[in-house]
């Protein structure tokens, strides 16, 4: 019995991936990622399989940060109101989302305490104490913590929640503006390597003025695409300059004895990176996981039944393979449960295990076993010796990653639509021509509506000025993601013909 037999039934009852909202909710439950039945809206419980996946993803992020000179810290969850309110522009960006602790036991607190929505106002008072001289700089620290935001929109697990259970935020302080700007580029490269390891495609943009992080001079963001054509922001990087340093009086003495304000950056990633792996790679059969972050990389399924004469022989060979793979530091499970093979295929395909090895009585006779790769459900035979199986597993897992990455980028690039002034005007005029009462000139609203319609298929790349970008958002509900971070182009706005920069626009989560 192979995946071909199971292919039609593997996703029995699972909504199609095209129906992303229902598919996503079902996947989180069936693959045992999180349980959303906790009796508080907007929070969920990580189940063992999902938590292992999350831990593997964040171990990549931690290693990239550690290797680039960051040090991990842990700051308190509670932030005094007095500190939170110091940076006026910053708190205005979060004031509607703050959870407040106002009572301890039966007593009202003298100073209300906020559950951190983000940690600038918790960390920076301490940097004021830690930094005295240029010899204390640069500081590069990060933490992975829970943050709380009173999300009033429709909540969606891992994507839009009230408790973010794994928020990685890095904070840096530097002696010069040039060093801080360089750190922004370092952070971009770290995140590129991180998402490449997850085989998650992305665009990197500088957000428009009205969509910057509260208190930041510049905000750079990573976005990926969901199966329904909407984008999801998966990482942000902020150039803070000396704005927070002035608020919290974070100064240092330079080599000439002068007091100066530090220059700062911060950057963060939430558990949306887990949601991105699930959404970008999954299919109609369930999860499809890159091998590096799969809690189980290989599952061995004995194809035996209770009355098979060679049952014990098959199980013995499967145990030898499991032990050999385990010794090779490959995460492997031998499913020797009493379930029928088809049920086992369904279970492990749903969980996205990258590689399945099938061994039955016939395989013992031929001296070969069957490999089934999860990302494409293809199968092939491998000589049934522990040495050859281990070697082929390593090669196959590496190939799976490369193919998943290539496939994801191909789908992503296919969903980026480039529009020029000529194509938008021509399309709008053609639409107008169908109305006998209209002339062939396209109105601004026609062009904006056309762009809005194009965004149903993904990201639109277009020359558009900020004024028309805001009008697009008001008319269509779309968002201006921003200008490309790497290499900006100039052109004429497709709406008003004003000289402007290239923009990415999309419907967003």
Per-residue confidence (pLDDT) for residue 321, from 0 to 100? 98
The position carrying tokens 């891992």 is: 158
Per-residue confidence (pLDDT) for residue 289, from 0 to 100? 98
In this prediction, residues 213-240 reach a mean pLDDT of 96
Per-residue confidence (pLDDT) for residue 435, from 0 to 100? 47
Per-residue confidence (pLDDT) for residue 172, from 0 to 100? 98
CATH class of the 287-404 domain in this structure: alpha beta
In this prediction, residues 276-300 reach a mean pLDDT of 98
Least confident window among 44-53, 104-113, 356-365, 462-471: 462-471
For the chain, domain boundaries: 18-281, 287-404, 416-506
In this prediction, residues 141-154 reach a mean pLDDT of 91
How does strand 71-72 pair with strand 139-148? parallel
Is 117's pLDDT higher than 90? yes
Per-residue confidence (pLDDT) for residue 112, from 0 to 100? 96
pTM: 0.92
Looking at every residue in the chain, the average pLDDT score rounds to 91
Selected residue with higher pLDDT from 507 and 430? 507
Selected residue with higher pLDDT from 392 and 4? 392
In this prediction, residues 27-39 reach a mean pLDDT of 97
- Residues 141 and 74: their CA atoms lie apart, in Å, by 9
Is 136's pLDDT higher than 80? yes
In this prediction, residues 418-428 reach a mean pLDDT of 62
- Residues 198 and 52: their CA atoms lie apart, in Å, by 15
State the pLDDT confidence band at 456, using cuts at 50, 70 and 90.
confident
Is 457's pLDDT higher than 90? no
Q: How many helices (H) and strands (E) does the chain have?
A: 16, 24
Pick the CATH number of 416-506 from 3.40.50.2000, 3.30.110.30, 3.30.420.40, 3.40.30.110: 3.30.110.30
Q: What is the dihedral of CA 349, 354, 358, 364, to 10 degrees?
A: 180
How big is the CA angle at 399 (ends 330 and 283), to the nearest 5 degrees? Answer: 90
Is 433's pLDDT higher than 60? no
How big is the CA angle at 190 (ends 188 and 196), to the nearest 5 degrees? Answer: 100
How big is the CA angle at 117 (ends 114 and 119), to the nearest 5 degrees? Answer: 90
First-to-last C-alpha distance (Å) of the chain: 41
Is 2's pLDDT higher than 50? no
In this prediction, residues 439-459 reach a mean pLDDT of 75
Look at phi and psi of residue 56 and say left if phi exceeds 0, alpha if psi is from -120 to 50, else beta.
alpha
Is 201's pLDDT higher than 50? yes
- Residues 96 and 181: their CA atoms lie apart, in Å, by 31
Distance (Å) of CA 30 to CA 23, 224, 226, 228, 329? 10, 24, 20, 21, 27
Least confident window among 78-87, 91-100, 289-298, 429-438: 429-438
Is 438's pLDDT higher than 80? no
Question: Where does 218-323 show beta strands of DSSP type E?
Answer: 218-225, 231-241, 251-253, 259-261, 263-269, 298-302
Q: Are 288 and 352 in contact (CB under 8 A)?
A: yes
Is 205's pLDDT higher than 80? yes
Dihedral pair phi/psi, residue 283, rounded to 5°: -140, -170
Nearest C-alpha neighbor of 117 from the set 150, 142, 143:
150
Is 64's pLDDT higher than 90? yes
Per-residue confidence (pLDDT) for residue 91, from 0 to 100? 76
State the pLDDT confidence band at 310, using cuts at 50, 70 and 90.
confident
Selected residue with higher pLDDT from 330 and 429? 330
Is 3's pLDDT higher than 50? no
Is 486's pLDDT higher than 90? no
Per-residue confidence (pLDDT) for residue 437, from 0 to 100? 39
Is 472's pLDDT higher than 60? yes
Tokens matching residue 299: 């599952």
Q: What is the CATH number of domain 18-281?
A: 3.30.930.10
Task: Tell me if 287-404 shares its fold with 416-506.
Answer: no
In this prediction, residues 463-486 reach a mean pLDDT of 88
Tell me the pLDDT tens digit for each residue of 80-116: 999 998 877 777 778 889 999 999 999 999 999 999 9
Omega of the bond prior to 138 within 30 degrees of 0, cis? yes
Selected residue with higher pLDDT from 477 and 136? 136
Per-residue confidence (pLDDT) for residue 11, from 0 to 100? 52
């Amino acid at each position: 019995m192979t995946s071909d037999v199971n292919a039609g039934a593997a996703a029995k009852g699972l909504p199609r991936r095209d129906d992303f909202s229902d598919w996503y909710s079902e996947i989180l439950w069936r693959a045992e990622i999180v349980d959303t039945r906790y009796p508080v809206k907007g929070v969920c419980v990580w189940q063992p399989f999902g938590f292992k996946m999350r831990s593997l993803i964040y171990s990549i992020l931690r290693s990239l940060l550690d290797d680039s000179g960051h040090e991990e810290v842990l700051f308190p969850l509670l932030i005094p109101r007095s500190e939170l309110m110091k940076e006026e522009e910053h708190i205005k960006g979060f004031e509607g989302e703050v959870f407040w602790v106002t009572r301890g036991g039966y007593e009202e607190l003298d100073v209300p305490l906020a559950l951190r929505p983000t940690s600038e106002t918790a960390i920076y008072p301490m940097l004021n104490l830690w930094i005295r001289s240029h010899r204390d700089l640069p500081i590069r620290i990060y933490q992975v913590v829970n943050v709380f935001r009173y999300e009033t929109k429709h909540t969606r697990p891992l994507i839009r929640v009230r408790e973010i259970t794994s928020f990685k935020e890095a904070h840096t302080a530097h002696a010069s503006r040039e060093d801080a700007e360089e750190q922004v580029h370092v952070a971009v490269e770290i995140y590129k390597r991180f998402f490449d390891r997850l085989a998650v495609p992305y665009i990197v943009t500088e957000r428009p003025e009205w969509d910057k992080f509260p208190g930041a001079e510049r905000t750079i963001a990573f976005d990926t695409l969901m199966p329904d054509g909407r984008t999801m922001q998966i990482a942000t990087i902020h150039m803070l300059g000396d704005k927070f340093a002035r608020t919290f009086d974070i100064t240092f003495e330079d080599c000439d004895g002068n007091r100066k304000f530090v220059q700062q950056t911060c950057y963060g990633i939430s558990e949306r990176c887990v949601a991105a792996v699930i959404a970008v790679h999954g299919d109609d059969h369930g999860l499809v996981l890159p091998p590096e972050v799969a809690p189980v990389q290989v599952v061995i399924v004995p194809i035996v039944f209770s009355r098979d004469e060679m049952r014990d022989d098959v199980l013995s060979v499967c145990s030898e393979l499991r032990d050999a793979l385990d010794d090779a530091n490959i995460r492997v499970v031998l499913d020797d449960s009493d379930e029928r093979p088809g049920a086992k295929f369904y279970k492990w395909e749903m969980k996205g295990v990258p590689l399945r090895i099938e061994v039955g009585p016939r395989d013992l006779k031929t001296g070969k076993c069957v490999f089934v790769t999860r990302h494409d459900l293809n199968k092939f035979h491998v000589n049934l010796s522990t040495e050859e199986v281990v070697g082929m597993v390593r090669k196959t897992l590496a190939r799976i990653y490369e193919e998943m990455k290539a496939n994801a980028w191909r789908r992503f690039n296919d969903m980026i639509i480039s529009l020029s002034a000529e194509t938008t005007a021509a399309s709008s005029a053609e639409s107008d021509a169908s109305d006998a009462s209209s002339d062939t000139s396209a109105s601004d609203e026609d062009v904006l509506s056309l762009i809005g319609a194009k965004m149903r298929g993904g990201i639109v790349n277009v020359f558009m000025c900020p004024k028309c970008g805001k009008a697009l958002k008001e008319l269509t509900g779309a968002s201006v993601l921003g200008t490309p971070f790497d290499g900006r182009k100039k052109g004429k706005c497709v709406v008003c013909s004003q000289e402007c920069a290239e923009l990415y626009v999309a419907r967003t989560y």
